[in-house]
Amino acid sequence: MANTLYDTLFGQHQGKTTPFLQMENGTIITHCDFLELTSQYAHQFCKMGLQPGDRVAVQIAKSPQALAVYAACVQAGLVFLPLNTAYTADEVSYFVENSGARVLLCDAKRADALELIAKSCGAVLETMNADGTGSFTAKAAENPIDFTPVSRTADDLAAFLYTSGTTGRSKGAMLTQGNLLSNCQALVKEWEFTADDTLLHALPIFHTHGLFVATNVSLLTGGKVLFLPKFDLDSLLELMSQATAMMGVPTFYTRLLNDPRFTREAVEHMRLFVSGSAPLLAETHVKFQERTGHRILERYGMTETNMITSNPYNGERRAGTVGFPLPGVEIKITDSSTGEELALGEIGDIEVRGPNVFKGYWQMPEKTAEELRENGFFITGDLGQIDEDGYLSIVGRNKDLIISGGYNIYPKEIEVLLDDKEGVLESAVIGVPHPDFGETVVAILVAEKNTDLDLETIADDIGSSLAKFKHPQRILTLPELPRNTMGKVQKKELREQYKDMFVIA
């Protein structure tokens, strides 16, 4: 039976003893080792009564075993739902309930906090720790090391990734096997990846960038992956001499540049550095090229679409742009009020169409209809312009989404918590430029009349309900928030006012 994604990414390596993952300590996991583990996990899911199309939610540390869970879901026809490891129990509760996940995998340390949540949502809770141990892996170890993939086509769902807008709760973007496969095939061609490449992988795997870009590209080509559990500067510098390519977020590159060990000699084996998930400052581009002789390749993607555009591998990589549409992908700039396509150089909504574009939002038909046109174009919510040479530049967002260190942050979620604090009349949460994270969170509060706010206490109070990457880096107060004639808060003015807050002189 054919399983489009599994056969192409994983099945081609069946029985091969070629190296797939190299761990920080030098341990090698071959393709064969990995697929045997994958089969045991697929058997375990079936033993638990899961059927094709059922959702598996995971909030587990990055490890070979965690990656095998993704592969097992593909093999068994299940829908993989990775969750940020920083999410609080309250946040996880929404995702499990909304998705209807049948299984929730978590670290054993979080089992007590999540057990009642799983039970109330009708999900079975199992554990998987950073070292690969846990209740799930212990049970799976008794299973056969071969598993016949469940029949799946390109149109069948492979993953849910939850994304945020500026209104309402997080939305579950439904990604098909065809979405994931078409995108990694395009990237392999555009970035010239081969089996001879070794990818330095320090990204998380609960996110499009680390999972569906970095990992899938390596699987498709059969290249080796230097698999770091997290970003660690010392490990990155130590292993770079063994690598040919690295994918990262702006934080990776700014921190490398701040280390004197990062020299031209340190990157002599490298052929490609890719950056995405957040804007890369022009000064970082310049400093990186001066230091290493390499020009960072910046690209553009979204949860709903995977990668959309890329600066060229061969050709001019223009700082401040995200390059050209990938093969098979169309982009256009449109007027937000009429939907009409705009001329080159004009700023408007970025719309995209192609085999990479998601199927819609889970159980949100109205939201799907708002953002996914009948002709297949997806309205990204980003504002951009295309120059006369065809390069796309992102000039802003017509949503207030903040992207910090590659993670999406939904301002309204933070504002609701702030507004609920004693003495707070209203709040506005914005993203401002940050040299390390691309953007970071700043909260502006207006106090009730004759009230002095204890900002430190407020920060501590909301911190317990939010993942750390969502915490405001600065909380400020103003007598009132700027508004237009219709009474709408003008966040653009606030962003302009505080844009230099974290700029290093």
Question: What tens digit of pLDDT does each residue of 438-458 get?
Answer: 899 999 999 988 889 999 999
pLDDT surpasses 90 at 488: no
The side-by-side arrangement of strands in the sheet containing 19-22 is 28-30, 19-22, 224-227, 198-201, 245-248, 272-275, 297-302, 306-310, 324-325
pLDDT surpasses 80 at 279: no
| Identity of the residue numbered 482 | P
Residue 45 pLDDT class (50, 70, 90 cuts): very high
> What CA–CA distances, in Å, run from 379 to 95, 331, 334, 376, 391?
24, 10, 9, 10, 19
- CA 320: distance to chain centroid? 21
Cα separation, 502 vs 337, in Å, equals 35
Stretch(es) of the chain classified as CATH 3.40.50.980: 31-152
Nearest CA to 22 among 187, 246, 200, 152? 200
Residue 436 pLDDT class (50, 70, 90 cuts): confident
- 280 vs 157, which has greater pLDDT? 157
Q: Per mean pLDDT, which range of 29-38, 387-396, 488-497 is the poorest? A: 488-497
pLDDT surpasses 90 at 19: yes
The angle subtended at Cα 303 by Cα 301 and Cα 306, nearest 5°, is 45
Q: Per mean pLDDT, which range of 175-184, 293-302, 367-376, 418-427 is the poorest? A: 418-427
Task: Give me the mean pLDDT over the 363-379 stretch.
Answer: 95
In this structure, whether the domain defined by 402-497 belongs to CATH 3.30.300.30 is answered with yes
Task: Give me the mean pLDDT over the 345-363 stretch.
Answer: 95
pLDDT at 464: 86
Pairing of strands 198-201, 245-248: parallel
Ranked by mean pLDDT, the top range of 102-116, 334-348, 415-429 is 102-116
pLDDT at 504: 66
pTM: 0.83
> What CA–CA distances, in Å, run from 177 to 242, 250, 301, 339, 359?
32, 29, 17, 29, 11
pLDDT at 128: 98
Task: Give me the mean pLDDT over the 115-132 stretch.
Answer: 96
pLDDT surpasses 70 at 164: no
Q: Per mean pLDDT, which range of 55-59, 167-171, 192-196 is the poorest? A: 167-171
At residue 97, φ and ψ (nearest 5 deg) are -65, -45
For the domain spanning 31-152, the CATH number is 3.40.50.980
Task: Give me the mean pLDDT over the 258-285 stretch.
Answer: 90
Share of the chain above pLDDT 70, in %: 97
| Cβ atoms within 10 Å of 196's Cβ, excluding its own | 10
Contacts of 493 (CB under 8 A, 6+ apart): 482
Three-state DSSP class for residue 203 = coil
Residue-averaged pLDDT of the chain: 92
The answer to whether residues 60 and 128 touch, using CB atoms and an 8 Å cutoff, is yes
Task: Give me the mean pLDDT over the 198-222 stretch.
Answer: 95
Stretch(es) of the chain classified as CATH 3.30.300.30: 402-497
pLDDT surpasses 90 at 394: no
Task: Give me the mean pLDDT over the 125-136 stretch.
Answer: 97
DSSP 353: E
Task: Give me the mean pLDDT over the 250-274 stretch.
Answer: 93
pLDDT surpasses 80 at 503: no
Task: Give me the mean pLDDT over the 82-107 stretch.
Answer: 94
pLDDT surpasses 60 at 232: yes
Task: Give me the mean pLDDT over the 184-201 stretch.
Answer: 97
pLDDT at 1: 67
